[in-house]
Amino acid sequence: MVASGQVEGVRMRGVPLAEHLRMDDARFQRRRGLRPGGSCQAQRSQGQGESGPHGHLPPPGEGAVGAPGRLSLWYGFRPSRLRGAGWRDLLLVSESCKPIIRMLYSDETEEENMRRVLWGVLFLLATLAVQASYEPLWQYNGPATILFAPTLGNDGSVYFATDDEKLRALTPQGTPAWAVKPGGLIVTPIVLHGGVLYFGTSSLEIRAYSTAGNMIWKQSVGAVPATPLAVAADGKIYFGGKDGDLYALNPDGSQRFHVHLGTEVGPPTVGHDGTVYITGDNFMHAVNPNSGMVIWRKNFFNASKVPVVMDRYDDLFYIREGILDVYDVHGQFLWEARDQQGGLLLVKRMAPVIYGDTLVVADDGGSEIYGLDVSTGAILWVFSDVNTEWTPEVTASMAVDRNGIVAYLDATGVIAWFDAVDGSFYGYMPSMGAGKEAVLLGWGIKGRIVTRTGPGTQVLAAYAVPAGPGGSWSQGGMSARHVQRRDDEPFTAIHSPGDGSVITGAFTVNGTASDDFSLGKVELYIGQSKVASSDVGTLLWSTNSALFDDGTYDISLLATDSAGNVGVDTVTVTFDNPAPVHNVSQGPPTFTWLDNLVDNQYQVLVSMDPTFTTPVVTSSSKTKKWIRATSWKPSDKKWAKVLAAANLVPNPQVTVYWRVIGRIGGEVTTRSFTLDKTH
């Protein structure tokens, strides 16, 4: 471990880099608004119980240079990452020990090291906007092995099965909510549809539970469920049994049909029209969802436990023995994945992801990633051709967001992300050990990834990410609810105001949303703040732009469907309002602001100084610091103090500033008005 504040072997103009950056200089820290604090190791020791604040810490065996509150470097030796002996992987770390950027450092000349550091800083400027949005949220340390990828609810709740024969749930904050014993070991991933959790057990049952942990129904079946469940948009449930049968249940658990397809069956996938696609031995079957009759049966050459993935053209992507074949909806062969030399491209045996017309797959060893054209199989990009200083080690299913950013868990203990369009690598951060599937949920205007990781796969870790899922098949199971069906995201449209509008005064947002199956909720955001919501496909919301600070804003309409897909439409507008004029003769004004949907208690500060160093009055009283309202009118006594402060300024018109602070969310808005002392 290098002493705090020192960066070994890196110098600038003969001065150690740490001294050049004045990392130990208290004046430097104050100028940058940084706070002194303890070491990363001290933070590591704080975690207790099942959940703890470890999400931002380096993986075991790595070191921290510097302390939180200072510009620090976190470093670690990664033989699989680096070019040879003597290389280290350097991360520039924020004040809370969160890595900002990776830089390479070697035992070469100091000039070479400095060049790499400077290039790293330039790379930081280009990618900081993306990386700053990837933040650890929480970590849950469970008592038993987590069997499958977690399932996420729209509110951020997490549902998962453990090998101690329990079904468990966490709150959106990552704390235990409940745990129940469902009468046997859970043997399938958990599916969430219509507010109900579905899964199979070792007791030859399919069970349905509420999201509160109460059993709704159980249904005995003829065999142990041997595949993940697929749940259609109408609530019908399909799965394969160890007896080689395809089973179909109604939403209430009653048996619909079962049909024998072979000695073993693969995972079912539900097409857009409800057709069920499932392998029996080497044959793919298209099964009528109402009668159970086989519509067609084609030889796909090898059985597979990898679920079939479907794109927006209804083509079937089938991985068998590492070979990726693509068929149309009638079972006609289209293409097979091949490398640049024309040989078979062996891919990892996990569900690929699709963004637009790009299929993203990892090779069989997980050390290479390809972008393929969904229609032809043509290679659009190869990860190693685009990125020369990073070699991936993909462990499980990836996830792609609506901006085309793909996230995956790496075998070396990091979560990494890159661009689906051209393969450009963006960055990574620690993931508390080698992780598995990246499960991506839409979380307001942003997104949230939850993955299982850690020793014994007993850890769940959550990360805030820039956006929710996107693409026709964004992750394993199709969505964070693991419904395993082709289900398009909702269509959303903002009809007014128009993109690029300059708005003064009152305005109305008119938006609509629709879905191919079932629309869930519709939400309206201005910037990062939710301002309205609707349970139907139409949303009208009126307000006054003067309630916002002047500037440019994104207005976004988000719609979520029953599968957890999110559709988004965004327009960019500018609010431009002159500061209002208030006459002294009018008495105290009423200050009004918008609810930030985080707080229900606020405080108003009034000042003659835009920095609010010494407020003239506040809304607080001796008995009540916070008010439960979104407006406030000063008393005559407090208004008199404002007038007295204004009279100290010789001008006939004085600018008065006011700020609203939320008890939880902090600053809500800062506004001003002109006080006319002549009227």
The residue among 240 and 410 whose pLDDT is bigger is 240
Locate 76 and state its tokens.
Answer: 């670690």
> 466-483, pLDDT tens digit by residue?
999 998 899 999 999 999
Q: Are strands 353-355 and 369-373 parallel, antiparallel or unpaired?
A: unpaired
Taking the C-alpha atoms of residue 371 and residue 379, their distance in angstroms, rounded to an integer, is: 6
Q: Does any domain span residue 292?
A: yes
Q: Does any domain span residue 471?
A: no
Percent of the chain with pLDDT over 90: 71
Q: Does any domain span residue 1?
A: no
Is residue 492 within a helix (H) or strand (E), and if so which, with residue range? strand 491-496
In this structure, are residues 103 and 91 in contact, taking their beta carbons and an 8 Å threshold? yes
Q: Is 125 in the same domain as 248? A: no
Where does a domain end: 415, 447, 465? 465
Question: For the chain, first and last CA: distance in Å?
Answer: 69
Taking the C-alpha atoms of residue 551 and residue 577, their distance in angstroms, rounded to an integer, is: 9
Q: Is 316 in the same domain as 172? A: yes
Q: What are phi and psi of 510, to 5 degrees?
A: -120, 110
For residue 497, pLDDT beyond 90: yes
pLDDT of residue 584: 95
Q: Is 120 in the same domain as 164? A: no
The residue among 394 and 57 whose pLDDT is bigger is 394
Q: Is 213 in the same domain as 184? A: yes
Region of poorest pLDDT, from 71-85, 334-348, 642-656: 71-85
For residue 31, pLDDT beyond 50: no
pLDDT of residue 350: 95
**pTM of the predicted protein model:** 0.77
Where does a domain end: 104, 130, 156? 130
Q: Is 363 in the same domain as 429? A: yes
pLDDT of residue 444: 87
> 437-462, pLDDT tens digit by residue?
999 999 888 999 999 998 899 999 99
Q: Does any domain span residue 151?
A: yes
Contact partners, residue 201, CB within 8 Å, separation at least 6: 182, 183, 184, 185, 186, 187, 207, 225
pLDDT of residue 112: 54
Q: What are phi and psi of 114, to 5 degrees?
A: -65, -40
Confidence bin at 29 (pLDDT 50/70/90)? very low
> 204-262, pLDDT tens digit by residue?
999 999 999 999 999 999 899 999 999 999 999 999 999 999 999 999 999 999 999 99
Comparing C-alpha atoms, which of 122, 126, 103 is closest to residue 10? 103
Angle at the Cα of 194 (from 190 to 197), degrees rounded to 5? 25
pLDDT of residue 115: 53
CATH number of residue 564's parent domain: 2.60.40.10
Is residue 474 within a helix (H) or strand (E), and if so which, with residue range? none
pLDDT of residue 51: 33
pLDDT of residue 349: 95
Indicate the burial class of 21 (C-beta count within 10 angstroms; 0-12, 13-18, 19 or more).
middle
Q: Does any domain span residue 502?
A: yes
Q: Is 566 in the same domain as 586? A: no
Count other Cβ atoms within 10 Å, centred on residue 13.
6
> 119-133, pLDDT tens digit by residue?
455 444 444 444 446
Q: Does any domain span residue 479?
A: no
Q: Is 267 in the same domain as 412? A: yes
Q: What would the DSSP string read from start to end of 439-460?
A: EEEEETTEEEEEEEESGGG-EE
Region of poorest pLDDT, from 65-79, 334-348, 385-399, 545-559: 65-79
Q: Does any domain span residue 470?
A: no
Mean pLDDT of the residues in the chain: 83
What mean pLDDT comes out for the span 554-565? 93
Q: Is 457 in the same domain as 533? A: no
In this structure, are residues 145 and 168 in contact, taking their beta carbons and an 8 Å threshold? no
Q: Write out the residue range of the structural domain in which residue 312 sits.
A: 136-465
In this structure, are residues 283 and 277 in contact, taking their beta carbons and an 8 Å threshold? no
pLDDT of residue 598: 82
CATH number of residue 239's parent domain: 2.130.10.10
**Rg, C-alpha atoms of the chain:** 28
> 583-642, pLDDT tens digit by residue?
999 999 999 998 877 888 999 999 999 999 999 999 999 899 999 999 999 999 999 999
Q: Is 96 in the same domain as 171? A: no
Domain count of the fold of the chain:
4
